[in-house]
Amino acid sequence: MPIYEYKCQDCGEITEILQKFSDKPLSQCPSCGGKVAKIISNCTFQLKGSGWYVTDYKNKERGRDKESESKKDEEKKDKFKKDEAKKD
């Protein structure tokens, strides 16, 4: 469930609340009962695991290996196309 932030228009207090997507937005400040508005806040998350830039593509040595593999794949495809053309 996401955490939403609301700012009270009367007292200025910022309230964080854990809500489902289906829940109705908060309408009153829990502190003073004033009207609140949903605010957009910075999200902080970190991508971990294989397949992300930080873990796989940032390292130059790995990038070189992948380039040589892709060249080998292209050579195999070209050879296959030539062999198929000879068969026809």
| Whether 15 contacts 4, CB under 8 Å | no
pLDDT in tens, 11-70: 999 999 888 889 999 999 999 999 999 998 777 666 666 666 666 666 555 545 555 667
Residue 48 lies in a domain: no
In terms of residue numbers, what domain contains 62? 53-87
30-40 core/surface letters (b: 16 or more CB in 10 A; e: else): eeeeeebeeee
> pLDDT: is 61 or 75 the higher one?
75
Across the range 2-14, mean pLDDT stands at 91
Residue 8 lies in a domain: yes
Strand partners, 6: 15, 38
Instruction: Give the confidence band of 7 by pLDDT, cuts at 50, 70, 90.
Output: very high
Residue 26 lies in a domain: yes
**pTM for the model:** 0.47
Residue 46 lies in a domain: no
Residue 76 lies in a domain: yes
pLDDT of residue 88 exceeding 90, the answer is: no
pLDDT of residue 41: 76
Q: How many domains does the chain divide into?
A: 2
| Whether 56 contacts 39, CB under 8 Å | no
Residue 60 lies in a domain: yes
